[in-house]
Amino acid sequence: MEPVDRRIRRAGWFLRRRDLLRMGYSDAALRSALARKRIFRVRHGWYSVPAAPESGVRAVRVGGRLTGVSALEAHGIPVPRQTTLHIAVPAHACRLRAPTNRHKRLDAGDGTALYWADNPRSTHRSSWLVPVDDALLVVLAHESREVAVACASALMRRRRWSRERVARVFDRAPARARCWLALVSALDDSHGETFVRLWLLDAGIAAEQQVHVDGAGRLDFRLSPNVYLEVDGAQHDPRWTGETESSYERDHDRDAVVAAQGGTTLRYTYRQLYGNWAGCLAAIGRSIADDLELVARRARDPVMPRAARPRSQRKRRRSGASGAPQGVSRPS
């Protein structure tokens, strides 16, 4: 037979003892795999493998499945991270356990948010994860406007969801969230961009997204004719150690190209945006005002080279410009 750990992995990381017995595995085989640490007991009657997702282990140990923001992140959707683990449990669930200790009962200090509305276990397609549509519905019902719009926008951009599919989930959402559908944008490349776009909208600032600048490529926002805004995530840091290359040096090269064309690039990190949005907004407002004033001044008085000006507009040289004292005529 196929090794039990491989069978559990292929089944989606988690299997119940009774399901394994039905497949032909014996209790002796399970005990042997446990002794060799090829599998481990998540909670009573549930087994998994060491490589299983930690968030899934915690959800199954509690007695439910990941939902909301936690489920979307497990599905590979880049969403705002939260310290709370969101778990859906059946309406009549009992014997819920702590997410880190299967021998301890769940209490309020375990960092979990429970939603007592999950389907019966017999209808589960996954033993540890709700479908994406159900996860988004929980987000719309319980999260803030910024988080909800960011999650929906990420699904449109990363999963290529159509606006019609997103609208079907919004139709099932509470009334307070339905009006947020108009704010969802497939142009948001990160949840930071979604937050900034919404906050700019609240401030009355219209922002054009994903603007192409010759030589510099695509920029996150254009706020005025010559002012651009970039939202820098961790990959923009010179100490970035992720799978992709840091964009720190490339960002500075792009800023130089924009400046050579008369533009200004404002760059903000998540720490600045989330920790001091008022300060960021003040700098944005001043940059926009200065740019609009400069554009208006150039429109009233275009700057032309001296040789291109009509002779009537050129300043006549004063008689004393040659350096001779006033009142003294130059000898013929």
Mean pLDDT in consecutive groups of 10 residues from the start of the chain, 332 residues? 94 94 95 96 95 96 95 93 91 88 89 83 75 96 96 96 97 96 95 96 95 94 96 68 70 92 93 94 97 92 64 55 51 53
Max Cα–Cα distance, the chain, nearest Å = 123
- How far is Cα 222 from Cα 324, in angstroms, rounded to an integer? 54
Integer Cα distance of 234 and 270 in angstroms: 8
**Length of the chain counted residue by residue:** 332
- Quick one: pLDDT at residue 120? 58
* 319, two tokens: 């008689």
* Rounded Cα–Cα distance for residues 65 and 135 (Å): 10
Q: What is the sign of the dihedral through the CA atoms of 292, 296, 301 and 306?
A: positive
- DSSP class of residue 242 equals S
Fold classified for 187-304: Endonuclease; Chain A (3.40.960)
- HEC letters along 65-129: EECHHHHHHHCCCCCCCCCCEEEEEECCCCCCEECCEEEEECCHHHCEEEEEEECCHHHCCCCCE
State how beta strands 264-269 and 227-232 pair.
Answer: parallel
